[in-house]
Amino acid sequence: MLDRFDTLDLGPGRRWGWQTAAYADCTYNPNSWKLDRLTTDALSTADGHLTVTAQHRADGNWNTGLLTTGDSCDSGGSGFQLRTGDLVVVHVRLPAAGTAAWPCLWTWRDGGNELDLFEWYADHPDRIEFVNHVRESSTVYYGPDIGPERWVYVAVRLGTDNDTWYVGSSRDQLNPVWSDGTGVGPDFSAYLILNLSIGDGTFHAPPTRTDPVTMEVDLLSVERP
């Protein structure tokens, strides 16, 4: 799978869906510490960049965007599933600091199979989190490539007994930064989800202003041996 986001291939019968069954009500999830209200208006592409824009609402929630390959409440998606052995690579421009932004690339299928390929929080902009919920393990990574409004490559190689995360400033210079020593097992499969959430303040600082918040992505690929 490869998307360089020259266009937004979104909707029924297309590559991406914009809702997810990981959210209890498909477009929002009241028990997930997020202020998200999913809408297609938050998703746009131009010049090979996907931009996800979160906008404040009068009720205090935020309209924002999500892409998924499946389990999408009939909103679209190719059905592509990540599997053991795959290498996932994303090139992302992180949001601004102090915005309550919570961008993630993760997996989901049938109420589980969650692997957080990356999570970033705007109140701790110098670090990024990697979490394997399939076989519980996690770490927090600090590095010179991580920072607000900064472009960074993050990649993950999924293994039966070990997953390895990579970070770098270019696709050809990905440096291994953590191995979880647990892996996802030999039969792992799950849909990809890319989204920009806004946290509600339960675990991280809540929004203090109402300016739009953005995240950009110009590459998301999966390489399969």
Q: Which residues, 6 or more positions from 163, have their beta carbon under 8 angstroms from its beta carbon?
A: 115, 132, 156, 157, 179, 180, 182, 183, 184
Quick one: pLDDT at residue 218? Answer: 98
Domain holding 101: CATH number? Answer: 2.60.120.200
Nearest to 19 by CA among 53, 70, 59: 70
Quick one: pLDDT at residue 116? Answer: 98
β partners of residue 202: none
Question: How far is it, in rounded angstroms, from Cα 12 to Cα 9?
Answer: 10
Quick one: pLDDT at residue 173? Answer: 93
Boundaries of domain holding 12: 2-223
For the chain, how many structural domains are there in total? 1
pLDDT tens series, the chain, 225 aa: 999 999 999 999 999 999 999 999 999 998 899 999 999 999 999 999 999 999 999 999 999 999 999 999 999 999 999 999 999 999 999 999 999 999 999 999 999 999 999 999 999 999 999 999 999 999 999 999 999 999 999 999 999 999 999 999 999 999 999 999 999 999 999 999 999 999 999 999 999 999 999 999 999 999 999
